[in-house]
């Protein structure tokens, strides 16, 4: 069990390192434009490869900005500031920008030292690694599937009596969720969407979850019998858990790519593991507490779940990046 957990942690760290070294979004259509970013809530910063003509760079009329999802509504640029090295412009806006949505900045013909460098079109987004991390933390804490969406309560209540059982169920659940989510994403993007079979996604995803559980059951039985004895009892319960189905439906509706789908599944599984562990720790303490006879068993378990749900509401609206 300990060796398995170490390998899982090592794999997770390796994936994070790979994500960090990835270049992220390629967001510029003009080689003269180097990079862009949100400088603060009301400012977009754009860096160019050479010096700009001040008259062109400081004219707000040369820049058009809109949210990528709503191109018909232009965001008026209040003023433009040029850096001392004449390579970076800062577009200032009167109102706060919705940094959760990608923005597009288009320019007229860029003027640099008296030369025309062509027009530019650039996407402005948060750092991609930060976006991936926000999906992970969002599924784990901010939008925890148990405490904020109230999914999977039957398995949650039934397997949270002991910490060992809760950890075993949580690890098994996370493995199955990640595998089934990635297979679901592949089938949705390359089979269901191209052939316009989106209406079958619920049926397909349910079948994939069942196949994944059976595959994990068979592999554990052959590769690690000791681990199978610890997890095998709870594998059947995973099929009946609605959280397993909620994750593929979420990644399909949000049009997540492979990396984003992986982080969503990992966060949802980690959030379920966290919920199980917290609940199991509380229920072990409640066994020793002086609980009124009327509330012993399931009643006090549901009361405790409600208190945890109220506590997790404190994460609502939190923004990581």
Whether pTM > 0.85 for this model: the answer is no
Which tens digits make up the pLDDT trace of 187-198?
999 999 999 888
Residues of the chain with CATH 2.60.40.1220: 33-124
Q: CB–CB of 230/220 below 8 Å?
A: no
The residues of the chain scoring below 70 in pLDDT are 1-30, 227, 230-235, 239-240, 319-321
The reported pLDDT for the residue numbered 146 is 93
| 33-124 is a CATH 3.90.1150.10 domain | no
Residue 152: C-alpha distances to residues 139, 148, 158, 163, 230 (Å)? 14, 11, 10, 18, 21
The reported pLDDT for the residue numbered 26 is 39
The reported pLDDT for the residue numbered 93 is 94
Beta strands in the chain (DSSP E): 33-40, 43-48, 63-67, 70-74, 77-82, 88-93, 103-107, 111-112, 115-116, 121-124
The reported pLDDT for the residue numbered 239 is 65
Which tens digits make up the pLDDT trace of 196-244?
888 899 889 988 888 887 787 788 788 878 767 766 666 677 766 788 8
């Amino acid at each position: 069990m300990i060796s398995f957990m170490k390998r899982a942690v090592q794999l997770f760290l390796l994936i994070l390192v790979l994500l960090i070294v990835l270049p992220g979004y390629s967001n510029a259509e003009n080689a003269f434009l180097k990079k862009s970013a949100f400088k603060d809530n009301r400012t977009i910063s754009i860096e160019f490869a050479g010096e700009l003509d001040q008259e062109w760079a400081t004219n707000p009329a040369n820049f058009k900005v809109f949210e990528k999802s709503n191109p018909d509504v232009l965001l008026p640029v209040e003023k433009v500031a040029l850096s001392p090295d004449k390579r970076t412009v800062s577009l200032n806006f009167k109102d706060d920008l919705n940094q959760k949505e990608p923005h597009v900045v288009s320019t007229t013909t860029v003027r640099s030292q008296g030369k025309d460098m062509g027009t530019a079109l650039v996407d402005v987004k948060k750092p991609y690694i930060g976006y991936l991390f926000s999906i992970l933390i969002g599924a784990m804490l901010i939008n925890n599937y148990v405490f904020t969406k109230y999914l999977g309560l039957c398995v949650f209540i039934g397997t949270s009596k002991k910490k060992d059982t809760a950890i075993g169920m949580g690890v098994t659940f996370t493995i199955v969720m990640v595998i089934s989510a990635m297979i679901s994403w592949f089938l949705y993007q390359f089979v269901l969407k191209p052939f316009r079979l989106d209406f079958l996604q619920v049926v397909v995803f349910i079948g994939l979850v069942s196949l994944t559980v059976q595959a994990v059951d068979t592999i554990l039985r052959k590769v690690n019998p000791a681990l199978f004895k610890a997890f095998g009892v709870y594998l059947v319960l995973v099929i009946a858990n609605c959280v397993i189905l909620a994750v593929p439906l979420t990644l399909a509706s949000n049009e997540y790519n492979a990396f984003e789908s992986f982080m969503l599944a990992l966060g949802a599984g980690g959030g379920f593991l966290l919920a199980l562990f917290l609940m199991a720790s509380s229920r072990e303490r409640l066994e020793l507490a002086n609980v009124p006879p009327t509330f012993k068993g399931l009643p006090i378990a549901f009361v405790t779940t409600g208190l945890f749900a109220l506590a997790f509401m404190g994460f609502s609206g939190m923004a990581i990046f």
